[in-house]
Structure 1
Amino acid sequence: MENQPNTSKKSIMLNYGAILGFASIIVMLINYVIGDIYQPHWSLMIFSLAVTSTIIVYGLKKAKEMNSGFLSVGEAIKTGLGISLISALIYIVYLFIFYNMIEPDYFINMAKVQEQMIIERYPNLTDEQMEGAIKNAGMFANTGANLTLTMIISLFFGLIISLIAGLVMKKTEEA
């Protein structure tokens, strides 16, 4: 019986992490289909953050329900990070496939878009400054770096969302 709460937490992390991972893939596919993959609109980022927050909060709510209405901030963070980790792993597998099979020229095309943006935003840069800016912009222009950054960002936002939701939802047994 003592093992059941851990099993429940793991199932919550797996289920809600899978939901969030596939939701992230769907958002990216929609963005790809509408042709906005290289310069996504800011509203897509807000929408993605809202979806992420909603799914993590529902996962925390389910964890609280399964624990007789109790949830500590620490448990909220652990559960939220678990959801974020599972989600990120699923999304990273998709991104790997996307970068290598669906859109193999992604990083080449992205470099061109970034170079054009730098030229338009900073027309008075010297050639040396322009070269440095383009080099900095291309720092994460490879699959490994991009997937690592995706994992870090996912866990960071999962931590922040879980912390805030945990503070709002916390309820502990009185000593």
Structure 2
Amino acid sequence: MENQTNFKSIIINNGALLAGISIMLNLVMYAMGNHFEPHWSVGAISFIAFIVLIVLAIKKFKQNNGGFLSFGEAVKIGVGIAIFSALLGAIYNFVFMNFIEPDFLAQVMELQEQKLLDQGMSEEQIEASMAMGQKFSSPLLMAAFGIIGSAIGGFIVSAIAGAVMKKSEEEQY
């Protein structure tokens, strides 16, 4: 039971921290007026924070578990952190798109249409592209894709970290 509590606290703490970093970056970009086209460094910082927080959480669990870690435990921690963080991020996005910036999606679609015009696409190509984009721009669908993508990313990072850090009791002897 102590092991289960350890999983939960590590997942919740690191997931909340990761979501907090992501939300703070988004709020800074919004305050600076760059929330439609953030600088590449914002993505890099988010990606690095994602990797570092998952790896540190796995390392902490291993230390708390007497130096032992299975591959499955590492994956459980990494995917748990990624999903919890994505859920908090989805809640933030809901609040942002409904209360802070209600016309955010419409503005994004306008910017996308202008980019397609600048690329020299025909009117019917632009209409087809915009219609497709409209189908995938519902907040619920965006949240689902975000959570699934985050879970896949968490699996990849934690699988690599788990493969490197795993140590079972049998390996000790």
Q: Give TM-score scaled by structure 1 length.
A: 0.92
* Equivalent AA in structure 1 for residue 91 of structure 2: V
Superposition RMSD in Å: 1.4
Shift of 1:146: 1.5
Tell whether the 8 Å contact from 1:72 to 1:172 is kept in structure 2 after alignment. yes
Tell me how far apart the structure 2 counterparts of residues 157 and 18 of structure 1 sit (CA, whole Å): 17
Answer yes or no: is 1:127 the counterpart of 2:123.
yes
Shift of 1:173: 2.0
Shift of 1:139: 2.9
Runs of 4+ in 1 over 3 A off after TM superposition: none
Match of 2:133 among 121, 131, 137: 137
Answer yes or no: is 1:157 the counterpart of 2:168.
no
Answer yes or no: is 1:13 the counterpart of 2:15.
no
Shift of 1:41: 2.1
Superposed CA deviations along residues 16-67 of structure 1, whole A, max 9, x for unmatched, are 1111111111111111111111112222111110011111111111111111
- Out of 128-137 and 80-89, give the one that drifted further: 128-137
Tell me how far apart the structure 1 counterparts of residues 47 and 156 of structure 2 sit (CA, whole Å): 11
Ranges in structure 1 where 5+ consecutive residues have no aligned partner: none
Q: Give TM-score scaled by structure 2 length.
A: 0.93
Identify the residue that residue 63 of structure 1 maps to in structure 2: 61
Aligned length: 171
Identify the residue that residue 30 of structure 2 maps to in structure 1: 32
Tell whether the 8 Å contact from 1:111 to 1:141 is kept in structure 2 after alignment. no
* Equivalent AA in structure 2 for residue 148 of structure 1: A
% of aligned pairs identical?
Answer: 39
Ranges in structure 2 where 5+ consecutive residues have no aligned partner: none
Tell me how far apart the structure 2 counterparts of residues 157 and 139 of structure 1 sit (CA, whole Å): 24
Tell me how far apart the structure 1 counterparts of residues 4 and 30 of structure 2 sit (CA, whole Å): 38
Tell me how far apart the structure 1 counterparts of residues 134 and 157 of structure 2 sit (CA, whole Å): 29
Q: Secondary structure at the match of 1:71?
A: coil
Superposed CA deviations along residues 127-159 of structure 1, whole A, max 9, x for unmatched, are 222211222233322211211122112112111
Shift of 1:105: 0.3
Q: Secondary structure at the match of 1:82?
A: helix
Q: Secondary structure at the match of 2:170?
A: coil
* Equivalent AA in structure 1 for residue 153 of structure 2: F
Tell whether the 8 Å contact from 1:118 to 1:134 is kept in structure 2 after alignment. no
Tell me how far apart the structure 1 counterparts of residues 36 and 79 of structure 2 sit (CA, whole Å): 28
Tell me how far apart the structure 1 counterparts of residues 114 and 39 of structure 2 sit (CA, whole Å): 17
Tell me how far apart the structure 2 counterparts of residues 44 and 139 of structure 1 sit (CA, whole Å): 27
